[in-house]
């Protein structure tokens, strides 16, 4: 494994903080101002024209955008001999791929807030004719103050144009994106539906042992019902996820305004409810069934009176 560089351009490297399919990401400081930034640099083995063109597109599209929920691009050098790089604002937060497992799921109110913020960012990008193509938990950073930031437009393309390659993350990829079709905002709506599903359940929308089976599932099989993994989520919220993830894009939400309106209505009902929707978060289905039985027997039952600490070991996650 190659060692991290000590400097890139006018920046000294603090540490490596991430790696993607084509690039590495570093926390860095400007050598004069000491301002903290994040630097994304193409790896040496990814200097072919197709990757350079995608990187140049990311820089060009990123420079067009200014939104509180999108990580800003500050600078770039596409001709650096050690690899093209771009400089972004440094975000002190955690990517949500740390919160996508069954035992690490965020509270439902956090999920609602994140989805609303990312939808706002993607609606803004759509007004500029930009399709992100890689909306997933790992590309959403949640700051301690609750602000969510969408990052990594490395797969982004202008709307209704074909990308140089089929790109994105399979678990969040719509059928038309998988086919390499020209895309519009409905591809990102599908992806955000899949993100919502993952953050609520800790599972992908389909079960597959390999990429081939995943592709078949994306094209042909309905998503696994949310209730398979988490009880008692409101039907209105489940319906929004289902419509966002329709395989035929003409049956999906037509645009972000439609999605945001329906999602907002579902979120409002949840926020106004006094029912503890987090009661089932992070538990196995067998334990959720036990909880449901207790709830049916005693409406005054609450999580404070029956927590993981009081569960028998046989009811583990």
The kind and range of the H/E element at 127 are helix 108-127
Active-site residue, selected from the candidate residues 77, 134, 209, 255: 134
Distance CA 117, CA 135 (A): 13
Angle at 131 between CA 115 and CA 240, to 5 degrees: 35
Residue 213 bears catalytic tag: no
Sequence-ordered list of residues with C-beta below 8 angstroms from that of 154, at least 6 positions apart, any chain: 20, 22, 23, 40, 54, 55, 58, 134, 167
Cβ-based neighbour number of residue 287 at 10 Å: 18
Binding-site residues sit at: 40
State the angle between helix axes of 256-272 and 108-127 in degrees (0 to 180), rounded to the nearest 10. Answer: 160
DSSP type of residue 124: H
DSSP tag of 132: -
> What's the rounded Cα separation, in Å, for the pair 254 and 241?
14
Dig out the tokens for 15 from the structure: 């540490």
Rounded to whole angstroms, the maximal C-alpha distance in the chain is: 69
Binding residue positions for ATP: 40
239-276 exposure pattern, b = at least 16 Cβ within 10 A, e = fewer = ebbbbbbbbebeebbeebeebbebbeebbeebeeeeee
Q: Please list the active-site residues.
A: 134
């Amino acid at each position: 494994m190659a060692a991290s560089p000590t400097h890139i351009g006018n920046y000294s490297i603090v540490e490596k903080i991430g790696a993607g399919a084509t690039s590495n990401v570093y926390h860095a400081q400007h050598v004069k101002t000491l301002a903290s930034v994040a630097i994304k640099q193409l790896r040496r083995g990814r200097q072919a024209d197709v990757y350079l063109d995608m990187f140049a597109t990311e820089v060009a599209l990123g420079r067009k955008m200014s939104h509180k929920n999108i990580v800003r691009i500050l600078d770039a050098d596409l001709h650096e001999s050690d690899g093209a790089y771009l400089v972004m604002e440094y975000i002190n937060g955690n990517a949500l791929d740390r919160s996508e497992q069954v035992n690490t799921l965020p509270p439902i109110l956090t999920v609602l807030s994140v989805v609303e913020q990312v939808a706002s960012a993607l609606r803004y990008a759509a007004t500029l004719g930009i399709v992100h193509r890689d909306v997933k938990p790992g590309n959403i950073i949640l700051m301690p103050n609750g602000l969510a930031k969408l990052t990594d437009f490395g797969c982004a393309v202008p709307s209704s144009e074909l990308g140089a390659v089929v790109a994105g993350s399979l678990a969040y990829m719509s059928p038309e994106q998988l086919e390499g079709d020209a895309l519009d905002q409905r591809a990102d709506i599908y992806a955000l539906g899949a993100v919502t599903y993952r953050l609520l359940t800790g599972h992908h929308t389909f079960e597959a042992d390999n990429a081939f089976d995943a592709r078949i599932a994306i094209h042909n099989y309905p998503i696994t019902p949310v209730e398979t993994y988490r009880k008692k989520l409101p039907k209105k919220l489940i319906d929004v996820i289902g419509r966002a993830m329709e395989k035929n894009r003409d049956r999906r939400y037509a645009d972000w305004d439609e999605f945001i309106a329906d999602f907002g209505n579902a979120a409002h009902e949840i926020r106004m409810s006094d029912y503890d929707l987090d009661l089932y978060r992070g538990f196995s289905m067998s334990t959720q069934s036990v909880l449901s039985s207790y709830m049916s027997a005693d409406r005054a039952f609450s999580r404070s009176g029956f927590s993981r600490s009081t569960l028998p070991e046989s009811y583990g996650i």
